[in-house]
Amino acid sequence: MTRASGLAALESDMPEHPTDHAGLETLGFDVCLRRLASVPVGRVGFYADGELVVLPVNHVVEGQDVIFRTARGSKLSAAEGQNLVVFEADDYDQQTQSGWSVLVNGRAEVVYEETEIQRLSHLGLHPWVTAVERPFWIRIRPASVTGRQIPGTRYSSS
């Protein structure tokens, strides 16, 4: 093995991002936002009726904000109170045993302004299930965004 090939092999084994105490690579803010935007489904978690609730939603990312639509119910109630929520999305490839997870902590709010709703409607976010109308747009404004990935996970941002 030549010195150059030895260095190349060593560099390919080095993590692309810093690692945490468990050996997972920590993702930077912009990387986290790109990863969130790359998957159509995440989970929103909030406190309702005396218990923690976690529900799947399809979403889009606009700037730093996570956007989803909902009908009347617990998600809308949480957003109307501008309650603290968490939003998590991830991806895992069983074949390569690689993956990542991103967590957003922030406040949910209902978007009421008609011009803003019109603008959001052009983002391509459509509910999967159409049996129930989801006329309410919810925006999560992040207070923090963190992400981790299994070392060696390669990700195409295209």
Q: What does the pLDDT look like over 109-152, one tens digit per residue?
A: 999 999 999 999 898 887 776 656 678 899 999 999 999 998 87
Q: Which residues of the chain have pLDDT under 70?
A: 1-18, 20-22, 129-133, 153-158
Q: Please report, for the chain, the start and end positions of each structural domain, with discontinuous segments joined by +.
A: 16-149
Q: Which residue has the tokens 């302004």?
A: 113
Identify the three-state secondary structure at position 92. strand
Q: Determine phi and psi for 82, rounding to 5 degrees.
A: 50, 45
- CATH 2.30.110.10 assigned to 16-149: yes
CA distance 124 to 145: 23
CB count within 10 Å of CB 28 equals 13
Q: Say how far apart CA 130 and CA 85 lie, in whole Å.
A: 25
pLDDT of 42:
96
Whether residue 74 contacts residue 138, with contact meaning beta carbons closer than 8 Å, is answered with no
Whole-model pTM: value is: 0.81
Side chain identity, residue 88:
E
Q: What is the pLDDT of residue 124?
A: 85
Predicted confidence at residue 11, as pLDDT, reads 40
Query: Nearest 5 degrees, angle CA 120-CA 122-CA 126?
Result: 85
* Whole-number Å distance between alpha carbons of 69 and 57: 8
